[in-house]
Structure 1
């Protein structure tokens, strides 16, 4: 039984639960922003160039996150397994740190010196383990773990909690043991981890403020000395705003996690975004308690008035929860110290969500990965409530209750990861849950088209246009499908509309060139290819298609020139070399 109460066994158990929950995630393919950030990102595919300074210049605000991606590519190329192994390792390490942080908090002076209500001996075992198990097994975490590029959310949490833990450990050592040397080393570790967090994702901006709350809730020292201790970490909060000022771009765009092709939500007024976030946070809370109906791409209504019933009810819930946190804080000073940890967890939740869920408009108003960092506080609070609810029962009853909950959550996470197994399964799930939103229909159509299921793909592409008539991507896809089915007149009409909506859409110009080439309109085809080439001068496929068009016009010499360029630019594509050899043979007959 002693083994079962040891932290080493608890950490082992947390790791096993995490591995079981994500056992089916290692083959999940690249999705959405994975394309632009990994698959099509030449910079991360050249580690030497990345480390020479180009990587930092590419995105100084998220340099650490992109560095991990570059290292993944360096050691494993496009094999998704390595990326998922890293993501899961980050998730498990974060869960261990959650365990350590909760356990450490129970050893701060507030608890160890509390005069009225000494803590029960079971606390150091149950509450930290409960918080860590909930964190590692809960299905709301899948988007931050299984969606590869959203490692930014899990990685910033890892550094955030590591910095927090180092700071708390240093303070405990300083106050309880007077070990100044080790405390200073931990302070340095806290600053380094905070810097890594600040260079991973902008949500790390909240770290100094959460540490400030932690300091005043759990430690005893004069205000002046506290401010001196906090100064290095508080100054670290300037890293994010200074980085943002250097980009010259709106902060909402910087905070958005999807690439430009996925940003279809128009700019929102700040108040509308704030009103909407009241309902979004309420949804996050519901998912934390009851993780049913998860969705990659919610069709979430934009709120325009504080008087809207859903906004008022959500705001009332959030204010009640904040008032409850303050009530718990007051009660903790009157005889139930554990309530202070629950209060702190609630405050952590709100503060860490504030960057993405306040008045800074982000094109997509809700994404589940945004609650990953905030969930640390939420699960700490839930662990406290679970213990207080069950403390009258024997330890084995508490363990059984926790075990049942964790098994259910682990099974739900495994099932959620099953949805992520392919583009068709993922976007079919989204279309079912957001049937009147254009983007899910478009993405499902794209994956169906890749599987040569043209009729189904066309049906969803048309639905995408119906719900989002200003999206050139959907018209381009319709043109591709129509062209493949040899409906060239309809294909040209769809592609013309895509170009009208976005004249700089290189793929639409190239596809329209294909239609003209296949219908014998060589001059028009070359005109479209030339436009596409000006927009994307490094695309070997355009040189290849221009060579085919010139060959159709019996201009073999020019055709060979363009085909040779394509073969030289993309030597790994055998089609280009084979077509070049065929044309050269025809030219020399």
Structure 2
């Protein structure tokens, strides 16, 4: 028989083995790129490029994102992103993944400590407590669903806030941490990581009720008021500070531009749909074969739809099991785990969000299931005496457990591969979530990057069916049409993107980039300034605006040089170049004056007549423009540009 010391030594070795195996399983994920919200929180966010003003991360939510609508107050995430950028020296995802994975390993250890503690409180004489806790820990470490959170850099808000909640509970459990209220510190860090950190308070209440003041549940008729007051006193410090922080963060530190609540659906429609979403999450816990980086679950109507009713029945069944388990001491880890699961889901279940479901939201709630389910299985094996039977039975249990863990390890490796590139990730989304407009658009982008414009356009048009008012999709359609030289369509979609979104810098930035490529620098400058007005931290707009400013300065210098040359030597080439520079600077009257001057010495210059035509058209003097283009075509009937400008003029004359 093993002594206590030997058993602890063996458990430590197994725990280290779990950490090593987990590291090997995730070995192929460290070079996975930035995705989704990583763009506006990291790659386009100037705030993280320096740690000099790190205090501003905690006082100004604008530093969190370059998109005004996405500026949640999560200063710890901005701080960690800035640290990773400082260490890497640039936007290298390796360092972000290393940092996230380090804390994931720490969380794995804490899950082991917490689960073992809860099991020991419930059934101290049980010999398989350590092994059950190790199995729960290994299952959590290798579970395929967790790969969604660990691969997605911006989802460090989920993994790190969960770490803070588990740490807070363990610090409360420890006499020293409870005496000096050290658990408050980690709770505050968790709330600063993500507002869901406030869920530590109800989790703490459940822990106190089940494991410290359980007589309130089993013997509620005696001294109930006194017991409730005792519980309130225990939880009061965390509750007061968490409530204050949540209200202060939400109503004072979160900018008014932040758009997190979906008002296009009713609260009941959203909550009732979440009953099905919870069933979807549970399905991924049991068999994670339908994981998608961007699920296409939409609002389900009516409320009595079979999907909603099925989800509701499962929820009621779990709540019934939770209550029944709470009444028996040895089953309390099951009750605690189920309660944790539902408490962790409350923030995304009650507040209508634009994205109905998201697989990285499972990370925090699943901690509860990793505590409850292994303990339930272990007790079932104990009660049926399978665990105490022959060696072959024990061997079978070990083999089945190993097969489950191997299956999840393999699944995690495959999910890491899926997250390895834009192409593989969005293909996976399109296959599993075919009604997701964003997924279709992003997969179209992978084809556009390869020059497959027809295929890209097909996916963009399919995306329009599901997301007709998605401004990013309109931007990408504009970029595609610009790349295929369909400039009228490009202009149309750039303008519709701007109309669809009033506070994001992206429509103005991409339109400005397009205009700068057309050498319409002054117009581009105007849109880039609008982009920076919406988002002062949008680094791409700043860089492009600086480049355009330099080009404008150089252009003015070129004009002055050409004007000086034209005085001394009014040659055909110099005057044509000068009129072109005037046109690029929108000095249309100067284009006309220069062209007239050129025609005095070169009356058969079709280019000069065409330049006059284009300038007249810009001034909306359509008849003068038409006459100039007709002259150009008399001189050169094959001059296509003059023919296009003439059509521009005549079309407007007809109007």
For Structure 1 versus Structure 2, the TM-score category normalised by the shorter chain is 0.7 to 0.9
Tell me the distance in 2 between the aligned counterparts of 1:251 and 1:381: 41
Q: C-alpha displacement at 1:70, in angstroms?
A: 1.3
Partner residue of 1:343?
335
- Contact kept, 8 Å, 1:550 with 1:558, in 2: the verdict is no
1:374 alignment partner, one of 358, 365, 373: 365
Structure 1 residues 496-515: aligned runs within 5 Å = 496-502=495-501, 508=507
Q: How does 1:73-84 map to 2 (within 5 A)?
A: 73-76=85-88, 77-84=90-97
d(CA) in 2 for partners of 1:413, 1:387:
25
Q: Match of 1:459? A: 458
Q: Which residue of 2 aligns with 1:15?
A: 19
1:174-253 matched pairs, under 5 angstroms: 182=176, 184=178, 187-220=180-213, 223=227, 224-238=229-243, 239-247=245-253, 253=259
| Matching of residues 63-78 of structure 1 within 5 Å | 63-76=75-88, 77-78=90-91
The answer as to whether partners of 2:528 and 2:545 remain within 8 angstroms in 1 is yes
Distance of 1:504 and 1:218 partners within structure 2: 49
1:162-177 alignment, distance < 5 Å: 162-170=167-175
Q: Could you tell me whether the CA contact under 8 Å between 1:275 and 1:304 is conserved in 2?
A: no
Residue of structure 1 in register with 2:314 after alignment: 317
User: Residue 536 in 1 paired to residue 532 in 2?
Assistant: yes
Residues 1:474 and 2:473 are matched in the alignment:
yes
Return the match for 2:46 from 35, 42, 59: 42
1:400-439 equivalence runs, <5 A? 400-439=399-438
Output one character per residue of 1:77-106: Cα deviation in whole Å (capped at 9) or x when no partner. Answer: 311111101111121211111110011113
C-alpha separation in 2, matches of 1:408 and 1:195: 37
**SS of match in other structure, 1:301:** coil
Q: CA deviation at 1:266?
A: 6.1
Offset at 1:25?
0.8
Q: 2:270 aligns with which of 273, 284, 294?
A: 273
Distance 1:159 1:508 in 2: 37
> 2: CA distance between counterparts of 1:518 and 1:96?
54
Determine the structure 1 residue equivalent to 2:98: 85
The CA deviation at 1:251 is 12
Tell me the distance in 2 between the aligned counterparts of 1:517 and 1:157.
45
Counterpart of 2:439 in structure 1 is 440
Aligned residues: 520
Is 2:294 aligned against 1:282?
no
What is the rounded CA distance, in whole Å, between the counterparts of 1:462 and 1:388 in structure 2? Answer: 55
Structure 1 distance, partners of 2:133, 2:173, is 15
Deviations 1:550-581 (A, max 9, x none): 9899954599xxxxxxxxxxxxxxxxxxxxxx
Equivalents in 2 of 1:102, 1:64: separation in Å?
27
Deviation per CA, 1:160-184: give whole Å up to 9, x if none: 00111121232xxxxxxxxxxx365
Flag the 1:503–1:200 CA change in 2: closer, same or farther, 3 A: closer
Aligned equivalents of 1:189, 1:299: Cα separation in 2? 42
2: distance between equivalents of 1:34 and 1:558? Answer: 46
Equivalence for 2:108: 95
TM-score, length-scaled by structure 2: 0.73
1:295 to 284, 292, 310: 292
Q: How far apart, in 1, do the equivalents of 2:515 and 2:73 lie?
A: 44
User: How many Å apart are 1:228 and its aligned residue?
Assistant: 2.9
Aligned CA RMSD, in angstroms, stands at 3.0
Q: TM-score, normalised by structure 1?
A: 0.81
Give the SS at the match of 2:341.
Answer: helix
Cα deviations by residue, 1:15-49 (Å, 9 ceiling, x for unpaired): 12321221111011011111111111111111011
Any conservation in 2 of the 1:472–1:498 contact (CA below 8 Å)?
Answer: yes
Distance in 2, matches of 1:160 and 1:459, equals 45
Cα contact 2:257–2:503 (8 A) shared by 1: no
How far is 1:531 from its partner? 3.0
1:490-524 deviation digits (Å, cap 9, x = unpaired):
3333334334434777655565567677778x5xx
2-structure distance, mates of 1:558, 1:36: 42
Deviation (angstroms), 1:127: 1.6
Q: Distance in 1 between matches of 2:354 and 2:297?
A: 12
Q: 1:527 to 1:78 in 2, by over 3 A?
A: closer
Give the direction of change, closer, same or farther, for the CA distance of 1:31–1:251 in structure 2 (3 Å limit): same
Q: Contact (CA 8 Å) 2:169, 2:183: kept in 1 or not?
A: yes
**1:139: Cα distance to partner?**
1.2
SS at match of 2:53: helix
CA distance, structure 1, for counterparts of residue 149 and residue 509 of structure 2? 35
Cα gap change, 1:460 to 1:233, in 2 (>3 Å): same
- Distance in 1 between residues matched to 2:50 and 2:561, nearest whole Å: 33
The secondary structure found in structure 2 opposite 1:288 is: helix
2:355 corresponds to 1:364: yes
- The answer on whether the counterparts of 1:206 and 1:351 sit within 8 Å (CA) in structure 2 is yes
Tell me, which stretches of 5 or more residues in structure 2 are unaligned? 65-71, 216-225, 534-540, 563-655
For residues 558 and 443 of structure 1, the distance between their equivalents in structure 2, rounded to whole angstroms, comes to 47
Question: Where does structure 1 lack aligned partners over 5 or more consecutive residues?
Answer: 113-118, 171-181, 257-264, 560-589
Change (3 A) 1:12 1:56: farther
Q: Residues 403 and 504 from structure 1, CA distance in 2 versus in 1: closer, same or farther, beyond 3 angstroms?
A: closer
Q: By how many angstroms is 1:546 displaced?
A: 7.0
Question: Following TM superposition, by how much is the alpha carbon of 1:143 offset from its aligned partner in structure 2, in angstroms?
Answer: 2.0
Which deviates the most, 381-390 or 243-252?
243-252
Q: Distance in 2 between matches of 1:271 and 1:156?
A: 28
**Could you tell me how far apart the structure 2 residues matched to 1:314 and 1:516 are?**
51
1:529 Cα deviation from its structure 2 partner:
4.0
Is the 8 Å Cα contact of residues 491 and 515 (structure 1) preserved in structure 2?
A: no
Instruction: Write the distance in 2 (CA, Å) between the matches of 1:449 and 1:549.
Output: 31
1:412-433 CA-partner distances (Å, limit 9, x unpaired): 0110111000111111111112
User: Are the counterparts in 2 of residues 139 and 409 from structure 1 also a CA contact under 8 Å?
Assistant: yes
Deviation of residue 148 (structure 1)?
0.4
Contact 2:478 / 2:494 at 8 angstroms: preserved in 1? yes
> In the alignment, does 2:347 pair up with 1:355?
yes
1:445, 1:458 within 8 Å by CA — same for their partners in 2?
yes
2:133 counterpart residue number: 128
Alpha-carbon deviation of 1:527? 3.0
Higher radius of gyration, 1 or 2 = 2
Residues 159, 481 of structure 1: alpha-carbon distance in 2 compared, 3 angstrom cutoff: same
